Amino acid sequence: MSARMMWRCAATGAALVWVVSALVLGQARSVQPGDPLPGLTPPEFEEFRLGLDDFLEVETAEEGLGPAFNGTSCAACHNVPAVGGISPVAEVRAGRQMPDGSFAALDPGGESLFHLFSIPGHACQPTIPRDANVIVRRVPLPLFGAGLACAQSPKPVRIGVATSGGTTLPALVISQRKLDEKHGLKIEWVRLDQAALQKAFALRQFDVSFAEVASDLIRQRARGDKVKSVYAGIMANVYLLVKKDAPYKTIADLKGKKLGLYSLTSSSTAAIVRMVREKWKLELRKDFELVVAPPPVLAGLLQKGDIEGMINVDPLVLRLLESGNYRQILDADGEWQAQKGARLLVTTLAAWDDYAQKNPDEIRRLIRAYKEAVEIIGKDPQVYVSTGFIKDTPETVKLFHERFSKLYTGQWNQALIDSNRAVFDTAIEMGNLESVPADWYTFEYAN
């Protein structure tokens, strides 16, 4: 059984809530092992169904099974008298009894389990060492009733979220639509501006972040902090604006001109450096006179004519476009898709490793709540007003929906990671990153 399966069995076993406690509650109808408790609410039954699906899912080597294992699914070991029960096959455990009578594991990590099977090829079939003097067989324990323990009031999870911008909208939807309750979560939001949020997460003032900039997390991981991205956040909302009557049509037309830039160290800037180099054969830091300043300052400089164009972020860019005095000539995410065939990742949902490993089911439910919030954002333009994200005219709401609904993606896969590797390589070249650890992300909780 893989580590992923072991966690899944522990977590999804909690969704299999049944018999003994049901009988104690005196239900008139006989509840059989493997049945959900009578009277579950629709959200509770959905959790039961999802847990049962996970419990029955057959794993493959490509998904992390092996090289040695006891079963290809949780239910392969827990199925008597029903799914979630004991096993017809006893597992093998071995170790050493020391002269003082204490037990010593044969594995440095303290593991005593020896798997019975191995994947085809059978090159890694475990064998019990000759110095083992304690060998026992143990029938896996039933998981009936485990869900009742987990159904108690959940412990609050502290989640950091930005006070404004695209990363905060899913959090507002989760709260307003009570998606946290639907998915069995109790959330304590920690709301800070983006800069303070990054520092607070690094100091571990909360365990999960809804707005961790991917390049910042990579930098954090490289210096030894055990943090990891668990799901995609928002894509790039970075654009190049010029005045409406300016003659410029592409960024190449601004060569040699004063160009405002909101950040020289952001991953979006690294992406723009890459795109400008590959498509227009120009170097952003050499072929343009860059003026680096905070987003509001850049807007003022562009209005006064002190710069010819600016690379800036929404919602400030959107507000300027709404005035009718400016034109957009570059969409960083759109251009990245055109050149690379994938989205330009900016932020991720991130968690500290030990927290995620101790609470895997909670992280999975949190991701499900986030994905549902994103679906709502994509379908319901009124969500911007109902959550208090903006208070504007129907025309402005429509404009927000057209731009913000595209910031989120249902993708969290290797293709997205691989396409953004070029961004991180460019950030290394620019001196903004030192290295990219291979384990800065995981797909373990996204299913």
The residue ranges of every structural domain in the chain are: 3-149, 153-235+345-429, 238-334
Q: Is the dihedral of CA 109, 112, 118, 119 positive or negative?
A: negative
Topology agreement, domain 153-235+345-429 and domain 238-334: yes
Rounded to the nearest angstrom, the gap between the alpha carbon of residue 262 and the centroid of all alpha carbons in its chain is: 26
Residue 147, pLDDT score: 64
Strand positions, DSSP E, 289-375: 289-292, 309-313, 326-331, 347-352
Q: Token match 């002269």: residue? A: 99
Q: What pLDDT is attached to residue 447?
A: 72
Query: Is there a contact between 209 and 177 (Cβ–Cβ < 8 Å)?
Result: no
Q: Alpha-carbon distance 313 to 407, whole Å? A: 12
What's the pLDDT at 130? 85
Please give the C-alpha separations between residue 394 and each of 169, 182, 323, 381, 405, in angstroms, as whole numbers. Answer: 18, 30, 15, 9, 16
What does the pLDDT read at residue 152?
A: 59
Q: From first to last of its 447 residues, what are the pLDDT tens digits of the chain? A: 444 444 444 444 444 444 334 334 444 557 788 888 787 888 778 888 888 888 888 888 877 787 888 888 888 888 888 888 888 888 888 888 888 777 788 776 677 888 888 888 777 877 888 888 888 888 888 887 666 655 555 678 999 999 888 889 999 999 999 999 999 999 999 999 888 998 999 999 999 999 999 999 999 999 999 999 999 999 999 999 999 999 999 999 999 999 999 999 899 999 999 999 999 999 999 999 999 999 999 999 999 999 999 999 988 999 999 999 999 999 999 999 999 999 999 999 999 999 999 999 999 999 999 999 999 999 999 998 898 888 878 888 888 888 888 999 878 999 999 999 999 999 999 999 999 999 999 999 997
Structure tokens at 356: 């995620």
Q: CATH: 3.90.930.12, 3.40.190.10, 3.40.50.1970, 1.20.120.1630. Which one for 238-334? A: 3.40.190.10
User: What is the Cα–Cα distance from 286 to 126, expressed in whole angstroms?
Assistant: 59
Q: What does DSSP assign to residue 158?
A: E
Could you write out the DSSP letters of every residue in 194-209? Answer: HHHHHHHHHTTSSSEE
Q: How far apart are CA 178 and CA 181, in angstroms?
A: 5
Closest C-alpha to 220, from 416, 441, 444, 440: 440
CATH class of 153-235+345-429: alpha beta
Q: Which of 142, 134, 27, 137 is nearest to 84 (CA)?
A: 142
Helix (H, G, I), strand (E, B) or coil at 113: strand
pLDDT value at position 149?
Answer: 58
